[in-house]
Amino acid sequence: MSTSSETIALGQPTVGDEELAAVAEVFRSGWLAGAGPTCRMFEERFAAATGTAHALSTSNCGSALYLGLRVLGVRPGDEVIVGDYTFPATGHAVLQAGATPVFADVRPDIWSADPAAVEALITPRTVGILAVDVAGQPGDFDEYRAIADKHGLWLFEDAACAAGATYRDRPAGSLADLAAFSFHGRKGITAGEGGALVSDREDLIEHARKLHTYGIEPAFSRGTRGELPIPVFHEAGYNFRLSDVQAAIMNVQLDRLPDLVAARRSVARRYHQAFAELDGVRVPVELPDRGHPWQAYILTIAEELGRDRVALELRERGIQCNFGTYASHLQPVYGEQRPLPVSADIFRRHLAIPMHANLTEHEVDRVGDTVRAVVTELS
């Protein structure tokens, strides 16, 4: 039985009157559909926030990943090296593009692809590297870039969780040829759903812009010309657009981003202190040359304690929690894969505890106290 009637949520968006006012303004404008003027405003602002020249808003991060692979020219028979410890949307996008995901084992400390493992997987069929910012913290992008350049590969950043993150003073999104972001409800900034593709390469983003609107230039772009253009379909595209209603929410969320990241960092510091000397639990690592946005706070639980036992006991006591993310190579959809021991180990032992910008000090302390109590009782 729970010891508290109040459950502390694993994740929670920070939204309020400002978002409602922005949505009302879109309603008054009459343009609610996707790829309209509010989307364009958000894209310009998001490109600036990510240190890139161009951005395209999308229906979600999965569609951004797929569009990115399409405009990079991925085709059947190609291999794409993917950091293994990630929600399978990353590997799914490679499959959907007709290529083969080749999963690389990860660093044991920050869980992103181990550069040595990446380079060891390169074959004549390899066309690129899809590197994941796990829980928002960027991986070793200077090393990835050196490998990509050495072997003539492209580099794609899965920055789904990384809005507001930095790597050696460069913002997440600016670290590769392309980057994809998520605005799902558990992410640092959110419209409930949504995503974005960013790049310094105008050719890639403009090709993706056509593909995300069935293969033609979006209506808003066409309507700004002093003529009546009749679009021509040269290739089959999709409806992967973000609505202007969602873009209005994202414009406000982008204003909130610095404060939201600061709030999450404060929660992470309190958790670090709470668990610093707790046997059987290892806290997540933030490398000194990176700015972690703390999309998730993931503990590593000692094997002898049993991650699942800890999780179920925490839930009984009103603390929402869940496994971290997936060791993708273990998922049946990808068929038989080579063993990846680091990713497989953390998949068994990771436990995500409440992390969002709305947590109060009292709630953070309660989470800390409850984790300590459960771990002590089970030790």
CATH number at residue 209: 3.40.640.10
Q: Give Cα 118 to chain centroid, integer Å.
A: 20
> Which residue do the tokens 């909130």 mark?
256
pLDDT at 356 over 70: yes
Catalytic choice (187, 209, 349, 350): 187
Query: Is 210 a catalytic site residue?
Result: no
Give per-residue pLDDT as tens, 327-351: 999 999 999 999 999 999 999 999 9
Assigned domain for 4 exists: no
Q: Are residues 264 and 248 in the same domain?
A: no
- Low-confidence winner among 6-20, 103-117, 141-155, 208-222 (lowest mean pLDDT): 208-222
Assigned domain for 123 exists: yes
What pTM does this model have? 0.96
Assigned domain for 8 exists: no
From the list 377, 365, 362, 369, the residue with the least C-alpha distance to 310 is 377
Mean pLDDT of 77-95: 98
Q: What is the CATH number of the domain that holds 338?
A: 3.90.1150.10
Q: How many domains does the chain have?
A: 2
Q: Which of 223, 253, 283 is the last residue of a domain?
A: 253
Q: Are residues 310 and 234 in the same domain?
A: no
DSSP sequence for 303-343: TTT-HHHHHHHHHHTTB--B----BGGGSGGG-S----HHH
Q: Are residues 138 and 284 in the same domain?
A: no
For residue 104, what are the domain limits? 17-253
